[in-house]
Structure 1
Amino acid sequence: MRKLTITASVFIIFSFGLGFGYLISKKQIFPYHLLEYTYNFIKHQKNKNVVESGPWSIGVYEGDSPFNLHSSGKTNNPVLTASDVTDVDATFVADPFFIRENDSFSMFFEVFNRKTGHGDLAYAESPDGDNWSYKSLIIDEPFHLSYPHVFEWDGEFYLIAESYADLSVRLYKAKKFPSDWEYVGNLLSGYPYIDPTIVRHNDKWWLFVSTPSNENLNLYFSEELDNSWTPHPMNPIVRKNKNIARPAGRILQHDDSLFRIAQDDYPEYGTQVFGFKIIELNEKSYREVPIDGGAILSGSGKGWNGAGMHQLDALKIGDKWKAVVDGRDR
């Protein structure tokens, strides 16, 4: 049996060698991307049960702008923790997005499932955006899900999720909002895309995705939501910078401008959150500048968000801004 196993292994290696040799000698192509895909897939499969830091929990902030926020005085943070999850044994909750519909609020977030060792997606409801009640899981796949970016388009509710273990960016549509969702298809496939963040601008869709190393940010665009996504010619639009590359929430619209929200992942994962004003966004060019004032969110030094923060989603309610955020205590 051992001899047969060795023979089979040698044959597989030899076959791969022939294939790579053909690509190099005949097509003048070295399969860097295939090797990178394989490496990242194996790395994430190996580490999929490892919690990078935490535990994470979710809080509510408010302020006079999305970049000048503080803990809401109308509730006690955190508003959601792992102990609020009733349908699975949760390690933490994180990556909150929320949306207002018919004078009530729905929040969508990751629940890290201790039994399966990967993230599921869940939701909570609130009458005022301050006091939240956990409801249930809404999407549970056989692989890790997180970062449930919910949005409305053409009278329908959609959600894209980080699904790096599936080598995809998956799109879901609400059958009955906010509790019932169905899988529609993949926006992107073939790579472990991280924290996909979408926005509609100038009659086009724009999709920001980070890489598993957290140091590069890529941009795609499309006329249609569900097909024909094109990589931006300036990719990566952020190169080799773990302090600002990885998305940290929805693209915000404020004062007639777009703002990208980014998390700081160096020297530790999930330490603080920065904002960048998008100066130019078109099919040929992308430019952004950091907003004044430094970090929007950072660790408080103690309590539920003492060690760091890495997510922000904000809505303007009247003349004030309300935000859902997350933080870690170690």
Structure 2
Amino acid sequence: MKSSAPVILRIPPEQARAALRACLAELDRLGIPARIEGHGHAPVDSEIERVLAFEQRLHRLADAPGARLALPLGPAGEGLVISLDGPSPDADLVLWLDGEAGMGQLERSLVNGHVPLVEFRDAQGQVLAAGLPAIEQPDILGRALVAFHARLATILAMAIDGKARSLPDRRRMREAPTHTTPLEFFLQSTARKVANRIAPSRRRAEHWRIAIRPVTGPFSPEGDHVATGFTLLPDDGARYYADPVLWQDADRNYLFMEEFPYDTGIGCLAFTELGPEGRALFTPRRFLAGPTHLSYPFLFRHAGEVFLMPENAAAGRLTFYRARRFPDLWEEHSVPIPDRALHDATLIEQDGRWWLLANEERGGSSWDTLVIFSAPGPLGPFEPHYAAPMLVDARLARSAGPVIRLGERLIRPVQNCLGGYGRFLRFTEITQLDDRGFEQREIGRLLPEDGLNIAGLHTYARCERFEAIDLLTPRNWRPA
């Protein structure tokens, strides 16, 4: 399907909540006029209604996402009919969630900790676009609905524009539903809110830690691997270190990282040098800081010089820095992408062209939506891929470190963000990266050790001599 017509979203009035405004807002940002109309009827889930009402009183949500919408909403006129309530003979597209038509089970699914797979199918039943959204605030149903509906707009726009993209694998492992009742969901959410108010923040916060180990053999990403044998990079508890990037310069090995001081709450960049066994030769030294959050210090070499491409999505631009004196003195070189808030941007050269893979919020979460740019050289000028966004999948979209060349193969570490940020790491092999599209297939996973109270592992970096990861733990955690 390829159309520039407005869209008409049809939904039972009982399911039309204010959270749907996020869908309208994102469609408007994408230049797609949209209107919501009532169609048919659906039973009212009184338990869900109570949860949303209690949430509104407890959290005082400014946009009241659980409130009913007065329909119709949006400009009148003809357009593509998008059915959100099941098959209809005059619908151009129908929404399916986890293989069921309509939105009837959405709210119960989110209460159960389960994010449904989104599909838009045409009148013949063909899937035109699909995606698996990330939910950053799953313990507040109203907020979860806002995030879901924003990403619903992204996937709908992908279905409308007619560009060829790969579809998420419905068979890949998903999170198991918790079978929580709405009352249990609300009580658990309330308990967390109370605990957050009572407990001192320094005791309750989670803490990223970098760990390093020497390379002991060839890189083998296939299959499941457990992260063992790593040595923690020491920290003083007043900051955490995350997003490790390894850099080899002649016979010296450097570890670059995000430093997050708790007293400022703003990430900056630091480095240290590694000794023969992978231990830091000195406490990480800060080398780049600013008024907005910096992280993921991606490095690359070009024309005999070393360049740095950190994440600075908070500033709404992508900036390159050049080393005036490696590794501790850098100067701003250029702003190749000035108007996009990109997360975890990663460069890779393929077939004589440079490709930049990154994530972008686009009204929803930065955890689930992959965008790609390309350029004739690593410094630009960059052009967005014609089919961007390429992928909406909380399991496979967000980069987790530099792409690794393994012979002729390109191995991409990605974060699994289904059920939480950076829960564990997957390895994918890029099988297509060109002007026509992007394809990758999952080949392995890197998992934290069981029983050690590790909540996440979201970066993998490798050089000739060392591997580095980061682990999410309680702040007072000590390894067994």
TM-score, structure 2 as length reference: 0.53
**Cα distance, 1:274 vs structure 2:** 0.6
Are residue 275 (structure 1) and residue 423 (structure 2) matched?
no
Q: Retained in 1: the 8 A contact 2:208–2:241?
A: yes
Structure 1 equivalent of residue 235 of structure 2:
82
Give the whole-Å Cα distance in 2 for the aligned partners of 1:66 and 1:129.
21
Give the whole-Å Cα distance in 1 for the aligned partners of 2:259 and 2:298.
14
**Cα distance, 1:302 vs structure 2:** 4.3
Give the whole-Å Cα distance in 2 for the aligned partners of 1:175 and 1:92.
27
2:384 aligned to which of 226, 231, 238: 231
**Cα distance, 1:135 vs structure 2:** 3.7
SS at match of 1:137: strand
Aligned residues: 270
Change (3 A) 1:67 1:90: farther
Q: 1:270-310 CA distances to partner (integer Å, 9 max, x unpaired)?
A: 1111111111211222221111xx41x2221344x722200
**Cα distance, 1:123 vs structure 2:** 0.2
Structure 2 equivalent of residue 222 of structure 1:
375
2:299 aligned to which of 119, 143, 150: 150
Structure 2 equivalent of residue 99 of structure 1:
247
Are residue 315 (structure 1) and residue 459 (structure 2) matched?
no
1:248 aligned to which of 385, 390, 400: 400
**Cα distance, 1:82 vs structure 2:** 3.1
User: Is 118-127 or 180-189 further displaced after alignment?
Assistant: 180-189
Q: Retained in 1: the 8 A contact 2:302–2:378?
A: no
1:326 aligned to which of 460, 465, 470: 470
Give the whole-Å Cα distance in 2 for the aligned partners of 1:187 and 1:177.
22
- Unaligned ranges ≥5, structure 2: 1-26, 33-200, 475-480
Structure 2 equivalent of residue 19 of structure 1:
none
Determine which structure has the larger strand proportion and give its number: 1
Q: Retained in 2: the 8 A contact 1:66–1:314?
A: no
User: Is 57-66 or 153-162 further displaced after alignment?
Assistant: 57-66
Change (3 A) 1:301 1:146: same
1:64 aligned to which of 211, 214, 218: 218
The one-letter code matched in structure 1 to 2:231 is N
Q: Retained in 1: the 8 A contact 2:336–2:379?
A: yes
The one-letter code matched in structure 2 to 1:101 is D
Give the whole-Å Cα distance in 2 for the aligned partners of 1:202 and 1:300.
38
Q: 1:70-98 CA distances to partner (integer Å, 9 max, x unpaired)?
A: 6675xx621x2432xxxxx8431100001
Structure 2 equivalent of residue 43 of structure 1:
none
Stretches of 4+ aligned residues off by more than 6 angstroms: 50-53
SS at match of 1:329: strand
The one-letter code matched in structure 2 to 1:172 is Y
Give the whole-Å Cα distance in 2 for the aligned partners of 1:227 and 1:254.
25
Q: Retained in 2: the 8 A contact 1:90–1:111?
A: no
Give the whole-Å Cα distance in 2 for the aligned partners of 1:169 and 1:149.
12
Give the whole-Å Cα distance in 2 for the aligned partners of 1:227 and 1:173.
14
Give the whole-Å Cα distance in 2 for the aligned partners of 1:285 and 1:129.
42
Q: Retained in 2: the 8 A contact 1:245–1:263?
A: yes
Change (3 A) 1:90 1:139: farther
1:130 aligned to which of 278, 281, 285: 278
Q: 1:137-186 CA distances to partner (integer Å, 9 max, x unpaired)?
A: 01011110000011222211111011011101111111111111111121
Are residue 174 (structure 1) and residue 317 (structure 2) matched?
no
Q: Retained in 1: the 8 A contact 2:226–2:447?
A: no
Structure 1 equivalent of residue 349 of structure 2:
200
**Cα distance, 1:238 vs structure 2:** 1.5
The one-letter code matched in structure 2 to 1:32 is R
The one-letter code matched in structure 1 to 2:29 is Y
Structure 1 equivalent of residue 438 of structure 2:
286
Identical positions, percent: 24
The one-letter code matched in structure 2 to 1:285 is G
Are residue 299 (structure 1) and residue 448 (structure 2) matched?
yes
2:257 aligned to which of 109, 126, 131: 109
The one-letter code matched in structure 1 to 2:388 is N
The one-letter code matched in structure 1 to 2:471 is G
Give the whole-Å Cα distance in 2 for the aligned partners of 1:202 and 1:118.
38
- Unaligned ranges ≥5, structure 1: 1-29, 36-49, 84-88
The one-letter code matched in structure 1 to 2:297 is P
Q: Retained in 2: the 8 A contact 1:110–1:148?
A: yes
Q: 1:83-141 CA distances to partner (integer Å, 9 max, x unpaired)?
A: 2xxxxx84311000011112110111000122221100000101326111324101011
Q: Retained in 2: the 8 A contact 1:263–1:310?
A: yes
Give the whole-Å Cα distance in 1 for the aligned partners of 2:460 and 2:344.
13
Give the whole-Å Cα distance in 1 for the aligned partners of 2:205 and 2:421.
7
Change (3 A) 1:276 1:204: same
Change (3 A) 1:120 1:90: farther
Q: Retained in 2: the 8 A contact 1:300–1:307?
A: no
The one-letter code matched in structure 2 to 1:95 is D
Change (3 A) 1:115 1:66: farther
Give the whole-Å Cα distance in 2 for the aligned partners of 1:243 and 1:173.
33
Give the whole-Å Cα distance in 2 for the aligned partners of 1:34 and 1:140.
36
Give the whole-Å Cα distance in 2 for the aligned partners of 1:191 and 1:90.
32
**Cα distance, 1:53 vs structure 2:** 6.8
Structure showing greater Rg = 2
SS at match of 2:314: helix
